[in-house]
Amino acid sequence: MRRLGLTWRRGLAAALLVLGGLAAVLWFAPSDQYLLLPDKARLVEPLVEVPSEPANGDEGGGRGGIFMVDILVRKANLLERLFPGLNDGATLVPARVFNPVGVSEQERRKSSNLDMTRSQQIAAAVALRSLGYLVDATPSGAEISLVVPGTPAAEAKLQPGDVIVEAEGQEVRTPEDLRSALETVEPGTQVTVTIRRSGGLSEHTVGTIPAEDDQDRAVMGVIVQQAADIELPVKIKIDAGSIGGPSAGLAFALDIVDELGTDVDRGRLIVVTGALALDGQVEPIGGIKQKTIGAKNAGADLFVVPLGNAAEARVYADGLEIVPVATFEEALDDLGAEPVTS
């Protein structure tokens, strides 16, 4: 019996050793999936610089303020691919969804940085307009932030930074205008677009292919964002570091209003996410599950989200108050923003 017990223990130890080795191999082996994870919420105020910032009652190191929240993205290893529950709040995403086929990590980051730069300009314009400043901001086309390799747009040598100002004879001032111009185009046919590049205009003939999500819709193979000619009456500087994408636009705008003399947070810890359009519309964003968990982990009093993301955010809120908004003015109203009196 003693020998049998010893043999059993040795067998168990060997099995555990093999399993541990297998887990180690799986941990270091990459998979074909990306992992989306909650990130820490960040105070926006240190990222935004406005001139002659008035006191708004936030000085003194209190917990209140406007916070932005992002997601962490990395390739999943094989162990995480098999057991995604190993990471709290994780979501597995196929590589082709996160990175279109052929798009390098460098190209994706460049696109994300273009989105962030434009979102900062729009946030400043919307915030200053809400405070009564005269802001010269005119939609000026659909700016290409990413060209998908192997698509007709790549073959036509369209580039990130190009601004489409006309398509099929129709003026394009917004991304919606571009979609409207292509609405009656049959996939597989060619379209004529005019682009603005380095201040000059040029005409291009570009083929089309069916969209992945709708085989009847024609696309060229570009991701676009709002281009605009913006002149601000107040110099505002935003430095978001390595954070990319457009989803911090609403947070930036709320913080600018707060720093220029309107008490937005009123001592509360408010986490905010949402892309901001030039007309003040708040647009849905991705990664709302992870961002809601990030807001909750930050101990937020409120989590302000686009109306289109509110239902999903409530699934993961676990008691956190969700504030859905459709416009920037609605966000100010719902937060009870008040001018500071001295």
Query: Which part of the chain is CATH 3.30.230?
Result: 32-135+234-339
Tell me the β-bridge partners of 228.
139
For the stretch 51-78, pLDDT in tens is: 865 555 444 456 789 999 998 877 766 6
Nearest to 74 by CA among 115, 38, 113: 38
Query: Which part of the chain is CATH 2.30.42.10?
Result: 136-228
58 within 8 A of 265, measured Cβ to Cβ: yes
Per-residue pLDDT of the chain (342 residues; tens, 9 = 90+): 555 555 656 555 555 555 555 444 444 445 567 778 899 999 999 999 998 655 554 444 567 899 999 988 777 666 666 656 666 777 777 766 666 656 666 666 666 666 677 888 999 999 999 999 999 989 999 999 889 889 999 999 999 999 999 999 999 999 999 999 999 999 999 999 999 998 799 999 999 999 988 899 999 999 898 899 999 998 999 888 777 778 899 999 999 999 998 999 999 999 999 999 999 999 999 999 999 999 999 999 999 999 999 999 999 999 999 999 999 999 999 999 877 654
Alpha helices in 218-323, H assignment, sequence order:
249-259, 288-297, 310-317
CATH class, domain 32-135+234-339, is alpha beta
Alpha helices in 34-134, H assignment, sequence order:
78-82, 95-98, 105-130
91 within 8 A of 74, measured Cβ to Cβ: no
Burial class (CB in 10 A: 0-12, 13-18, 19+), 329: middle
Cβ neighbour number for residue 323 with a 10 Å cutoff: 17
For the stretch 277-326, pLDDT in tens is: 999 999 999 999 999 999 999 999 999 999 999 999 999 999 999 999 99
| Exposure on the CB side of residue 166, measured as CA atoms within 13 A | 12
Matching residue, tokens 């049998």: 4
Instruction: Say how far apart CA 45 and CA 192 lie, in whole Å.
Output: 45
233 within 8 A of 128, measured Cβ to Cβ: yes
Cβ neighbour number for residue 299 with a 10 Å cutoff: 11
| Exposure on the CB side of residue 156, measured as CA atoms within 13 A | 24
Instruction: Say how far apart CA 117 and CA 119 lie, in whole Å.
Output: 6
Instruction: Say how far apart CA 27 and CA 10 lie, in whole Å.
Output: 25
Q: Could you say which of 1.10.275.10, 3.30.930.10, 2.30.42.10, 3.40.50.720 is the CATH number of the domain covering 136-228?
A: 2.30.42.10
Instruction: Say how far apart CA 281 and CA 20 lie, in whole Å.
Output: 52
Instruction: Say how far apart CA 157 and CA 276 lie, in whole Å.
Output: 30
Instruction: Say how far apart CA 53 and CA 320 lie, in whole Å.
Output: 31
Q: What is the pTM of this model?
A: 0.79
Instruction: Say how far apart CA 326 and CA 283 lie, in whole Å.
Output: 7
